[in-house]
Amino acid sequence: MAGRFQVPRGTHDLLGGEMLRVQKVLQTGREIFRRYGYREWQTPIFEEAAVFNRSLGETSDVVSKEMYLFEDRGGEKLTLRPEGTAPVCRALVTNGLAQSLPQKVFYQGPMFRYERPQKGRYRQFHQIGAELFGAESPLRDAETIAMGRDFLQALGLGEAVRLELNTLGDMESRAAWREALITYFSGHEDSLSEDSRRRLAKNPLRILDSKDVGDRALLADAPAFDSYLNDASRRFWDELRESLAAFGVEFHENPRIVRGMDYYSHTAFEFTTDQLGAQGTVLAGGRYEGLVEEMGGPPVAAIGWAAGIERLASLIGPQEEESGGIAVLPLGEENQLKAAALACELRAAGWQVALETRGSMKKRMDRVVKSGATHALFLGDDDVARGVVQLRSLSDRQQREVNRADLLTTLAEQTGLSSSPA
């Protein structure tokens, strides 16, 4: 006998209770985004490889080690998207929207990274995120962070997460810090990992993200960014913290939060938890001012964040299956088509309907009760001849005969609704 097929390594099926938790994350996100005036965009699952080579940098681990790259039959180099920000920026430019600011955008969907699978980390995973294009002031940064806070609170995670905040300063400040880092790490080049030596000349800020033990031992004495902030960057930092206070957002300053890409500036933040072991970040983001230009658009200041849906789903409690609805049970095979027509009529009116035809009446009723249906409709030969149905309330087991013409009104009355659900 042929072997059973398995899911590809690093992927997983979303079923049952996990799927309910994922749906809860998505529904909650959409509601919070609605409150802030955001609209959903969807971009293709694969993009031109250059979209990510330019936005993430060829020295990044994502580009050099983790992207799924392939050539199509026409020889075009494509990649499965590893993250959502660059495609949304590309869409902003492609669709001529960079001149119509602000644009408040959210997205959700699968991302792909070729990395070693481990608990809570997959090669195909799902993200939900938001981008504000046209973020003209620190107030907008604070508002975007507040939206992330509201999202986590609405999921019931408010007490389980902590906001860590840092400033990356403007381009002038970062350039001065960059030179100081190059000088410092050059003096310890023999102690750096191979990856960090490669990054030293091109982008030393990426060394600060290194997971190598030897690299991290050097970070304690590395130049602190605070010493290189110019006056404009200090004002932005002060206004950001004041604005967060106005939104009622609590935070902890963490100078170790950095972003390796040159287009990130000023605000960098992470919501972290101690409930995930070493992988403690549940939502992270920052301000960026050069990425839209990288995609061929004009200078646009933006801020955004993203969160792993599976990671959030693992932190929220069990979700109940949607219950309710009506079961239609024909008595005898000769009435199945009549019952099908009745189910169609009810669904057209907005009701959730299950057509139960399989097995004995006892087995059918067992399934109906287990499903959480509120009512059962029985249709027999005599009922069809007289134009009636037998309506049973499953909460009190009371049964009554109802004319077909009055059925929708009677259902609305018995369920306490003024009209059938739409």
Bind-site residues for L-histidine = 83-85, 113, 127, 131, 259, 263-264
Binding site: what residues are annotated? 83-85, 113, 127, 131, 259, 263-264
Among 184, 185, 147, which residue's Cα sits nearest to residue 163? Answer: 147
> Running DSSP on this structure, what letter comes out for residue 406?
G
The SS3 assignment for 196 reads helix
Question: Quick count: other Cβ atoms within 10 Å of Cβ 82?
Answer: 23
Q: Cα separation of 163 and 284, whole Å?
A: 9
For tokens 């991290």, the residue is: 216
Return d(Cα 232, Cα 244) in angstroms, integer. Answer: 19
Question: Is 297 in a helix, a strand, or coil?
Answer: coil
359 dihedral zone (left: phi>0; alpha: psi -120 to 50; beta): left
In this structure, the number of other CB atoms found within 10 A of the CB of residue 237 comes to: 21
Contacting residues for 130 by C-beta, under 8 A, at least 6 apart: 33, 38, 104, 105, 106, 107, 144, 147, 148, 304, 305, 306
Residue listed under structure tokens 């992470």 = 270
**Sequence letter at residue 114:** Y
